[in-house]
Amino acid sequence: MKKYLLIALAILAAGCTKQSVQVFYDNQEKTIEKFVEAHKDWTPTYNKGSVRLTVAEGTSEETLSKGGVVSFYYAGYILSGTSVSASNMFATNDRTVAEAASWTIADESIFEVETVELGTDRLLVGLENGLEGVRAGEECYILFSGKYAYGKKVAGTIPSKSALVYHIKVESITN
């Protein structure tokens, strides 16, 4: 009998933990919506848990599809409120952004354009979903909850379950 009670308690605890994580992600979604509302002059595009806010339209008619290749510069931030700042930045390959944040960089090779093929599992799910549909020359912010980022894993300086924002400057796309 005691064995069954322990099993029942374990199942109950797991259910409560799963529910509390979902509530946590739901709150992140509300924060993302506040970010969107704070930037009404940017165009939002929603795709499978990601929001892309277009700051500057692209220069081409063609949009990036799954299986397409995109080259871009980025700055990644942990979402905190309705703006991004150097204090929340965790990565960049954009020299101008790194210098503005007073980052000291020993390896200059990080400032090379990032080129990836969508659908190859090289990107976070949220970032990949947000990049789908971008155009060459586009500047945008892509936001997504921790559910579409690293989930319960810690990734370097990024705490587990963190919602993320990527500032993206698309150089080119090829489908």
CATH number of domain containing 125: 3.10.50.40
- The pLDDT, as a whole number, for residue 17 is 67
d(CA 147, CA 141): 18
Tell me the residue range of the domain where 41 lies. Answer: 2-174
Q: How many domains are there within the chain?
A: 1
Q: What element of type H or E holds 128? A: helix 125-131
Burial class (CB in 10 A: 0-12, 13-18, 19+), 171: middle
- The pLDDT, as a whole number, for residue 4 is 45
pLDDT (tens, 9 = 90+) of the chain, 175 residues, equals 454 433 433 443 444 466 788 898 999 999 999 999 999 999 999 999 999 999 999 998 999 999 999 999 999 999 988 889 999 999 999 999 999 999 988 888 889 999 999 998 889 999 999 999 999 999 999 999 999 999 899 999 999 999 999 999 999 999 9
pTM (two decimals): 0.87
CB 152 within 8 A of CB 131: no
d(CA 151, CA 7): 26
